Amino acid sequence: MSRPKPLSGFPELAPDARIVEQFVLDRLRETFELHGFGSIETRAVEPLDRLAKQGEIDKEVYAVQRVAAEPGSRAELGLHFDLTVPFARYVLENAGQLAFPFRRYQIQKVWRGERPQEGRYREFTQADIDIVDAGTLAAHHDVELPLVTLGALERLHTDLGVPPVLMRVNNRKLAQGFYLGLDIADPPAVLRQVDKLDKIGPDRVTALLTDEVGVSAAQAASVVRLAQISTPDESFVDRVRGLGVQHPQLDEGLELLAEVVRAARTHVPGRLVADLKIARGLDYYTGTVYETELVGFEGWGSISSGGRYDSLATDGRTTYPGVGLSIGVTRLLAPLLGRGFLRASRSVPTAVLVAVESEESRWDAVAVAEQLRARGIACEVAPRADRFGKQIRYADRRGIPFVWFGGADGEVKDIRSGDQVPATATAWTPPAADLRPQVGAAG
């Protein structure tokens, strides 16, 4: 075998970076569970026709087929490219057994055959939360989900030093109602142009609206003025009202978005704004839409997005509306790890290396290790009965802070300070900061 090369777009973490990722995933899981979300995992593959959008299978989907398949036969399965499509299928398949509203989180890898570039991966991890109900889903869940997500991201900020985030929220009904109130015939066509506002600016969007969508100059001006409204508080409501457009859907959208902003100001102050240009593509979202950037790293794109879908799934008799948010774990972590912004204090879980004096006494060292482990202290026994200096270097290379010498009544050395003290394997405990690898912003 020759030395293999990495596959572009399929990032693999070194052991110390993986410790950071585990730390993040553990905290996400804990936050989700504290809010009553249960875990599910779905299989990696779906029938290809379920992965189709508007009847067409995206060319970036990975098809999966046994090598044993007939040559030339068509693949029937594909790797999931998000966790929403599989979740919708899971809900339909298990509707009879699930208790609605059903709250689930799902942390899994997904695959997209995109052209690899920074921030774009072919295999990456997402952490999704969704609430889905049968028939109707209460509007307050649109307020709840961003609070849970922002709470999770805030823990990564305070516990790890991940940069703070800003979530931008809009409501499809607000824009839709506004356009209808302006007597615009084709709101989705307008939304498609508004979605380009950040990229091409208001003048070119206005031109596209009049030239391509065929709205009047006055209508286009109102549309662009609406999209330019962004406020960290409820003042956006008055600013929209000031544009003088009336429609029941507009009222509905304003009210719900105001409630999201109000709740966020209480629970996660400074982390959420109403931003009326946010469109989030045109797929399944029908109400609130969310996207989230890392403050100071806006160019990395949205690290957490989602929205409300009035019909996540339907089996013809029952419709299942949902609201969900997805955290792009790889998209968030890969650049932070790659740039060295986050690091683990060591590359192994081990807190103590138990030194071995001679191969004959190896089992005495194992007995010490067992006593430490019984009290939750991760340790390993030195692999070779080298001279102690070499065993200490073994620990040093891995960042293991302590080396144990002798039997159960022995001595323990902090190899950073060089301090060595008598210690008993049934009683000695390392300082809390050394018990597990610490994860944080690089100093």
How far, in Å, CA of 319 to CA of 153, rounded?
31
How far, in Å, CA of 106 to CA of 88, rounded?
12
Least separation in angstroms between residue 65's CB and its own copies is: 6
Chain position carrying tokens 């995109």? 114
Write out the two tokens for 89.
């299928």
Q: Tell me which amino acid residue 170 is.
A: N
Least separation in angstroms between residue 340's CB and its own copies is: 14
Query: Read out DSSP for 301-363?
Result: --SEEEEEEEEEEE-SS-EEEEEEEEEEHHHHHHHHHHTTSEEES-SSS-SEEEP-S-GGGHH
Considering the complex, state which of residue 381 and residue 392 has its C-beta at the smaller distance from its own copies.
Answer: 381
137, containing H or E segment: none
Radius of gyration of the chain (CA): 27
Q: Report the alpha-carbon angle 381-382-383, nearest 5.
A: 110
Least separation in angstroms between residue 98's CB and its own copies is: 8
Chain position carrying tokens 């615009």? 184
Query: Read out DSSP for 238-263?
Result: HHHHTTT---HHHHHHHHHHHHHHHH
How far, in Å, CA of 201 to CA of 81, rounded?
31
Chain position carrying tokens 């807190």? 351
Beta 352-354 vs 402-405: how paired, if at all? parallel
Strand, coil or helix: 192: helix
Annotated binding-site positions for L-histidine: 82-84, 112, 126, 130, 280, 284-285
> Which strands, in side-by-side order, build the sheet including 102-111?
38-39, 102-111, 123-132, 319-328, 304-314, 288-294, 165-171, 272-275, 230-231
What distance, in Å, lies between the first and last C-alpha atoms of the chain? 40
147, containing H or E segment: helix 140-155
Considering the complex, state which of residue 208 and residue 425 has its C-beta at the smaller distance from its own copies.
Answer: 425
How far, in Å, CA of 119 to CA of 121, rounded?
7
How far, in Å, CA of 368 to CA of 431, rounded?
18
Considering the complex, state which of residue 243 and residue 408 has its C-beta at the smaller distance from its own copies.
Answer: 408
How far, in Å, CA of 262 to CA of 247, rounded?
22
In contact, 255 and 177? CB cutoff 8 Å = no
Least separation in angstroms between residue 375's CB and its own copies is: 10
Considering the complex, state which of residue 95 and residue 221 has its C-beta at the smaller distance from its own copies.
Answer: 95
